[in-house]
């Protein structure tokens, strides 16, 4: 049992007090006994001397008579009578003088006068006959007495006093009782006062102790209020300062840990730390998501035992841990063959373990593959262009020769039909070559400002006559700046090709939507794009169908020349490759987003005509800044990164989540002003997320972002209370306009 400092001090004080008081009592008792012995000795010797003097006076008077024989007995009796009258009238406390002669006759005694001293008496006091004076202690009739005596030589008498010790030391005993009572009372008062004093003095210490214990147990006290000017006051002040300092440090540490944890958790890389034996010590959220584990991992669990996916690289990991070298692993398949992950093992210093960083490089791989495809197509274009050019030249000769030959034939000449066949075949071959040359960008650039809306409306009027009537065509011309530098015919061909491809994807009918809008492609977007485009304002043209969609496995190949999914003879496989070439020729870009069973949307970006833009630049202010907290929800890392950069540029604080469930967690832990969410995500999509967020915060601003969303879906989401919609991929201008609309 823990003893308080008050108990310890009190016990020490009481013990010291008891020892001191006992010593004082003992010493004073001894000293008083000596004093009483001396005073009693003096007192009774004076009494004896007084009796002795009385007897001596009688002796002198007896001597004066000159007749000792005649008067001696009378004088002695007279003396005894006088003594009896003097001392036996009132015998106090059993103390009286008595006289005994050398013949052991008791001459003077309250009860025994005239008798012979008993053997018992003489055995106790017989020594009085041996000396002229003295004193001793003896017990007579059960009473301890102090005997003091003096011999009266002339008559051979011994004068004695027997003083009971209880009387002799009566004052001592009384004094001792008083002293003990005083000491006890004094001690009690002193202990009481000391206790009060200690409680008063140590109350701050107790408070300090309680506060220290509370602090040690992790509880935070508001501080100790001790208004004293002594050391305890200073100690309390220092303690408060220390506590505040520790508290601030703890808060800083907690914030730092939370910050670091947030950083680690928000990192797109999966982070797993291991100890020197390969046991898991920490995993971030990305790692848990990747490894599909959300509970606590038991302590001292080895990585390869917890997750079998690492079993194959066990030796590599152990080697990195033991030899302290960085290892890269790219062979671990975390999510099927179409995903690619890069795992790097960074050993920690002092061989205290290692950190595994696992990155999803699927997008990177895809980009690399796209780049490779682009390069292949570029090379193919060069080849096709060269062949087409030569072939076109040769075909020109054939046509020219056929025209010449035809002009020399009469209308009825049977050969004229043969020449027309040559010219017809050459014409079709020329169109084919023209397409090949478009893909290879070998056509002559005769660019001039053109209005995209005019081209679209003109082309759509043709399409409406040529496409199946089951296919509806819709134009949403939202772009304000529609002038670009290019060849109208090529863009007409581009729209025609894409519309025809779309109609082929909708054999039973559907909706073809052509939407335009202006957008700004920033440096990052441009740097990530496989096309050679520059940052700036673009006209975005979306061509969307509601067809069967494109199989993802062939999505990367649709722009290859002669690649077709149609039956032989049904298509040349040059439609989309021609589109690809036209886009490149106009310094634009094209991307495709398709969901099998839902449809496909192509995004064509054409750079705005700068002159025209300059003339209209003052009409819209596309800059905006704010300090809101935005939660960006998207499973595409590239979207999260680009959007985060754009929003940060605006001054926003951006938190990210990879899906709806992750978003809900982040939303609960933070104060969010705006949520921008994708629609199609793993685990929890945008629709469910919007429902959940509305339950949590009915007034929350929500924007849906999607690359492909049906109009019906948008209407439904607007009904659920979303504030706006933004098409992916979005640009800085688009986001700025969105933020302006939302927060204004």
Partner 1 sequence: MNSSTVRKPVFLFILTIILFTGCSEKEEARVNESLPSASSAKEKILYIDSYNLDFPWVQGITRGILDTLEISMDSEENLDNSRSSYEMKIYHMKTKRNPSEEAIHGAVKEVLALIDQWNPDAIIISDDNAAKYLVVPHLMDSEIPIVFCGINWDASVYGFPTENITGMVEINLIDSMVEELKKYSKGDRIGYIRDNTITSRKESENYEKLLGTAIVKRFPTTISQWKEDFLTLQEETDIILVGYPNALEDWDGSTDVYQDFLREKTEVPTGSWDLWTSSWVLMSFALVAEEQGEYAASTALRILNGESPGNIPVVRNKISMVYLNMGMAKKLGIIFPMELIERSHLIGDWLDE
Nearer to partner 1, 61 or 665 (CB): 61
d(CA 30, CA 178): 16
- Reference 490, options 560, 533, 443; nearest CA is 443
Shortest distance, position 76 Cβ to partner 1, whole Å: 10
Shortest distance, position 114 Cβ to partner 1, whole Å: 18
Residues in 522-581 that interact with partner 1 by CB under 8 A = none
Shortest distance, position 60 Cβ to partner 1, whole Å: 9
How does strand 510-521 pair with strand 471-477?
A: parallel
d(CA 523, CA 536): 8
Q: Write out 614-646 in H/E/C secondary structure.
A: HHHHHHCCCCCCCCCEEEEECCCHHHHHHHHHH
Shortest distance, position 152 Cβ to partner 1, whole Å: 19
Q: Among 1, 67, 92, 444, which residue sits at the site for partner 1 (rule: CB under 8 A)?
A: 67
Scanning 296-413, the segments in alpha helix (DSSP H) are 303-306, 314-323, 362-407
Shortest distance, position 81 Cβ to partner 1, whole Å: 9
> Which value, in Å, is the radius of gyration of the alpha carbons in the chain?
61
Are the CB atoms for 713 and 690 separated by under 8 Å? no
Residue-wise DSSP of 156-167: TEEEEEEEEHHH
- SS3 of the chain: helix, strand, coil, percent, to 5: 55, 20, 25
Shortest distance, position 62 Cβ to partner 1, whole Å: 9
Of 60-68, 108-116, 257-265, 683-691, which part binds partner 1 (CB under 8 A)?
Answer: 60-68
Nearer to partner 1, 67 or 92 (CB): 67
- Tokens 């001054």 map to which residue? 651
Q: How is residue 485 written in tokens?
A: 């530098």
Shortest distance, position 13 Cβ to partner 1, whole Å: 31
Shortest distance, position 67 Cβ to partner 1, whole Å: 6
Query: What residues pair up with 589 in beta bridges, in sequence order?
Result: 605
Nearer to partner 1, 61 or 255 (CB): 61
Nearer to partner 1, 113 or 616 (CB): 113
Are the CB atoms for 667 and 696 separated by under 8 Å? yes
Of 66-74, 162-170, 283-291, 440-448, which part binds partner 1 (CB under 8 A)?
Answer: 66-74
Nearer to partner 1, 113 or 723 (CB): 113
**Which H or E element spans position 583?**
helix 575-585
Q: Among 30, 61, 206, 257, which residue sits at the site for partner 1 (rule: CB under 8 A)?
A: 61
Q: Does 66 bind partner 1 (CB under 8 A)?
A: yes
d(CA 578, CA 595): 23
Shortest distance, position 197 Cβ to partner 1, whole Å: 24
Q: Among 1, 64, 216, 444, which residue sits at the site for partner 1 (rule: CB under 8 A)?
A: 64
Shortest distance, position 72 Cβ to partner 1, whole Å: 11
Shortest distance, position 86 Cβ to partner 1, whole Å: 14
Are the CB atoms for 693 and 702 separated by under 8 Å? yes
Nearer to partner 1, 63 or 716 (CB): 63
d(CA 677, CA 635): 10
Are the CB atoms for 521 and 486 separated by under 8 Å? no
Nearer to partner 1, 13 or 71 (CB): 71
Nearer to partner 1, 28 or 113 (CB): 113
Nearer to partner 1, 70 or 199 (CB): 70
Nearer to partner 1, 66 or 569 (CB): 66
Are the CB atoms for 612 and 449 separated by under 8 Å? yes
Shortest distance, position 82 Cβ to partner 1, whole Å: 8
Of 33-41, 70-78, 493-501, 682-690, which part binds partner 1 (CB under 8 A)?
Answer: 70-78
Nearer to partner 1, 78 or 565 (CB): 78
Q: Please, how many CA atoms are within 13 Å of residue 339, restricted to the half-sphere of its CB?
A: 10
Shortest distance, position 70 Cβ to partner 1, whole Å: 6
How does strand 701-706 pair with strand 724-727?
A: parallel
Size of the site for partner 1 (CB under 8 A): 11
Are the CB atoms for 739 and 650 separated by under 8 Å? yes
Of 65-73, 141-149, 457-465, 515-523, which part binds partner 1 (CB under 8 A)?
Answer: 65-73
**Is 307 strand, coil or helix?**
coil
Neighbour tally for 626: CB within 10 Å: 17
Of 61-69, 106-114, 236-244, 259-267, which part binds partner 1 (CB under 8 A)?
Answer: 61-69
Shortest distance, position 105 Cβ to partner 1, whole Å: 21
Of 64-72, 296-304, 703-711, 733-741, which part binds partner 1 (CB under 8 A)?
Answer: 64-72
Q: Among 34, 53, 70, 210, which residue sits at the site for partner 1 (rule: CB under 8 A)?
A: 70
Cis ω for the linkage preceding 499 (within 30 of 0): no
Nearer to partner 1, 85 or 407 (CB): 85
**Which H or E element spans position 138?**
strand 133-140
> Euclidean distance between the first and final Cα of the chain, in Å?
68
Nearer to partner 1, 74 or 156 (CB): 74
Residues in 71-100 that interact with partner 1 by CB under 8 A = 71, 74-75, 77-78
Nearer to partner 1, 71 or 173 (CB): 71
d(CA 627, CA 373): 42
Provide the binding-site residues for partner 1, judged by CB under 8 A: 61, 64-67, 70-71, 74-75, 77-78
């Amino acid at each position: 049992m823990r003893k308080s400092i008050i108990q310890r001090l009190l016990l020490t004080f009481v013990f010291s007090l008891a020892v001191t008081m006992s010593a004082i009592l003992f010493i004073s008792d001894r000293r008083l006994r000596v004093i009483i012995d001396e005073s009693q000795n003096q007192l009774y010797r004076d009494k004896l001397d007084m009796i002795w003097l009385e007897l001596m006076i009688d002796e002198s008077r007896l001597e004066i008579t000159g007749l000792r024989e005649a008067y001696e007995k009378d004088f002695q009796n007279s003396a005894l009578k006088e003594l009896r009258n003097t001392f036996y009238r009132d015998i106090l406390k059993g103390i009286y003088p008595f006289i005994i002669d050398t013949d052991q006759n008791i001459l003077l005694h309250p009860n025994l006068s005239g008798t012979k001293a008993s053997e018992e008496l003489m055995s106790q006091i017989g020594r009085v006959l041996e000396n002229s004076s003295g004193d001793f202690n003896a017990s007579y009739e059960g009473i301890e007495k102090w005997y003091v005596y003096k011999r009266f030589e002339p008559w051979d008498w011994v004068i004695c006093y027997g003083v009971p010790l209880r009387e002799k030391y009566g004052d001592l005993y009384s004094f001792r009782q008083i002293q003990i009572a005083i000491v006890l009372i004094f001690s009690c008062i002193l202990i009481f006062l000391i206790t009060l004093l200690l409680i008063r003095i140590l109350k701050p210490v107790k408070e300090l102790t309680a506060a220290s214990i509370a602090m040690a147990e992790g509880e935070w006290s508001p501080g100790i209020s001790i208004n004293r000017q002594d050391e305890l006051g200073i100690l309390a002040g220092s303690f408060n300062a220390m506590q505040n300092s520790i508290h601030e440090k703890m808060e800083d540490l907690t914030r730092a840990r939370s910050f670091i944890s947030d950083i680690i958790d928000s990192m797109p890389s999966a982070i797993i730390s291991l100890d020197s034996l390969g046991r898991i010590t920490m995993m971030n959220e990305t790692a848990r998501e990747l490894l599909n584990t959300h509970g606590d991992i038991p302590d001292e669990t080895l990585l390869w035992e917890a997750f079998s996916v690492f079993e194959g690289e066990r030796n590599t990991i152990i080697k990195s841990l033991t030899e302290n070298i960085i290892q890269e692993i790219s062979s671990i398949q975390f999510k099927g063959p179409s995903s690619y992950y890069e795992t790097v093992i960074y050993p920690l210093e002092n061989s205290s373990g290692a950190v595994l960083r696992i990155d999803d490089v699927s997008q990177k791989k895809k980009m690399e593959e796209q780049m490779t495809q682009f390069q292949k197509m570029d090379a193919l274009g060069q080849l096709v262009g060269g062949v087409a050019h030569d072939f076109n030249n040769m075909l020109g000769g054939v046509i020219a020769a056929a025209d010449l030959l035809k002009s020399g034939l009469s209308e009825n000449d049977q050969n004229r039909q043969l020449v027309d066949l040559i010219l017809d075949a050459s014409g079709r071959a020329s169109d084919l070559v023209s397409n090949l040359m478009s893909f290879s960008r070998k056509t002559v650039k005769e660019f001039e400002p053109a209005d995209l809306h005019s081209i679209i409306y003109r082309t759509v009027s043709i399409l409406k006559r040529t496409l199946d009537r089951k296919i509806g065509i819709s134009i949403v011309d939202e772009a304000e700046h529609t002038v670009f530098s290019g060849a109208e015919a090529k863009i007409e061909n581009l729209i025609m090709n894409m519309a025809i491809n779309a109609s082929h994807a909708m054999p039973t009918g559907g909706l073809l939507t052509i939407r335009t809008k202006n957008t700004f492609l920033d440096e990052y977007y441009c740097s990530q794009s496989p096309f050679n485009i520059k940052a700036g304002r673009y006209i975005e043209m979306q061509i969307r169908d509601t067809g069967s969609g494109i199989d993802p496995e062939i999505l990367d190949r649709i722009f290859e020349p002669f690649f077709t999914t149609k039956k032989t003879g049904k298509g040349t496989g040059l439609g989309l490759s021609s589109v690809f070439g036209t886009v490149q020729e106009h310094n634009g870009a094209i991307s495709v987003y398709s969901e099998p069973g839902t449809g496909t949307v192509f995004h064509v970006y054409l750079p705005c005509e700068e002159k025209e833009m300059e003339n209209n630049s003052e009409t819209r202010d596309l800059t905006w800044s704010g300090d809101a907290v935005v939660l960006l929800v998207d499973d595409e890392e590239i979207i999260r990164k680009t959007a985060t950069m754009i929003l940060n540029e605006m001054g926003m604080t951006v938190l990210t989540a990879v899906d709806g469930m992750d978003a809900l967690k982040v939303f609960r832990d933070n104060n969010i002003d705006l949520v921008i969410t994708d629609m199609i995500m793993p685990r929890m999509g945008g629709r469910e997320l919007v429902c959940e967020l509305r339950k949590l915060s009915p007034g929350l601003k929500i924007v849906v972002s999607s690359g492909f969303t049906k109009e019906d879906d948008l209407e439904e989401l607007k009904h659920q209370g979303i504030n706006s919609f933004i098409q992916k991929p979005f640009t800085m201008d688009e986001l700025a306009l969105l933020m302006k609309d939302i927060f204004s």
